[in-house]
Chains A and B, each alone.
Chain A
Amino acid sequence: DQQVKQNSPSLSVQEGRISILNCDYTNSMFDYFLWYKKYPAEGPTFLISISSIKDKNEDGRFTVFLNKSAKHLSLHIVPSQPGDSAVYFCAASGQGGSEKLVFGKGTKLTVNP
């Protein structure tokens, strides 16, 4: 059973507009969430994270929002740039500093010039 779900396999936005990538989770024991970005033929790179004690974390153009009651998080990219075109993975880890990350299937973002 999938514990971390990214229900949109793909998303297309115009340059300069906002990109919103969504992620849902089912395990209430998850308390740390991460977003990774992956370009073709490269390994995933860490983008931004959020702890369950927060509901928002911001880093430049990237903001992650966490809604614990809905078990939902989202990544906002503003403004979107063509270089943001990549696959984005949501990941979660459990209480007490679990050493394991559980990943979603990814969302492919295309930012059109």
Chain B
Amino acid sequence: DAGITQSPRHKVTETGTPVTLRCHQTENHRYMYWYRQDPGHGLRLIHYSYGVKDTDKGEVSDGYSVSRSKTEDFLLTLESATSSQTSVYFCAISPRSTSTDTQYFGPGTRLTVL
């Protein structure tokens, strides 16, 4: 298994509060991703990073920001959480050394916004 951890694994928070989710990898992979999974929507890309301090938006980036100050850590921040951000969040990593590299996923963080 790829060395990916996510913290926290579960979180309950209130509307309007800031929330930060952390993804940590031990594989030294260049690319890191944040997805959310919701019933009826599959996996949707929020943001991704292609190197330290290099990030780009995904399909559903509104309301989210990211930061990557070290190769091994990729943070996802909800500046002011809303109930629509209740979801399961997955981090993924990829070496992207070839065009056919796959992505490896972490165990997920279940976030509930009340």
Contact = CB atoms under 8 A, between A and B. Distances in A.
Given A41-B108, A42-B107, A44-B105, A100 B42 contact: no
A106 B105 contact: no
Given A32-B100, A43-B90, A101 B105 contact: no
Interface residues of A, number: 25
Nearest to B44: A103
B43 A44 contact: yes
Contacts of B90: 43-44
Interface string B78-104: 000000000000101010101110111
B98 to A, nearest CB: 7
A96 B98 CA distance: 10
B58 interface: yes
Contacts, number: 54
Given A41-B108, A42-B107, A97 B96 contact: yes
B102 to A, nearest CB: 5
A99 B104 CA distance: 13
Nearest to A46: B102
A42 B28 CA distance: 22
A18 to B, nearest CB: 24
A93 B43 CA distance: 14
B80 to A, nearest CB: 27
Given A51-B100, A97-B96, A97-B99, A103 B108 contact: no
A103 B58 CA distance: 13
B64 interface: no
Interface in A11-42: 32, 34, 36, 41-42
A106 B50 contact: no
A66 B31 CA distance: 27
A113 to B, nearest CB: 27
A11 B50 CA distance: 37
Given A42-B107, A99-B50, 18 more contacts: A36-B105, A43-B105, A44-B43, A44-B90, A46-B104, A49-B100, A49-B102, A91-B43, A93-B99, A99-B48, A99-B94, A100-B45, A100-B58, A101-B103, A103-B42, A105-B40, A105-B41, A106-B42
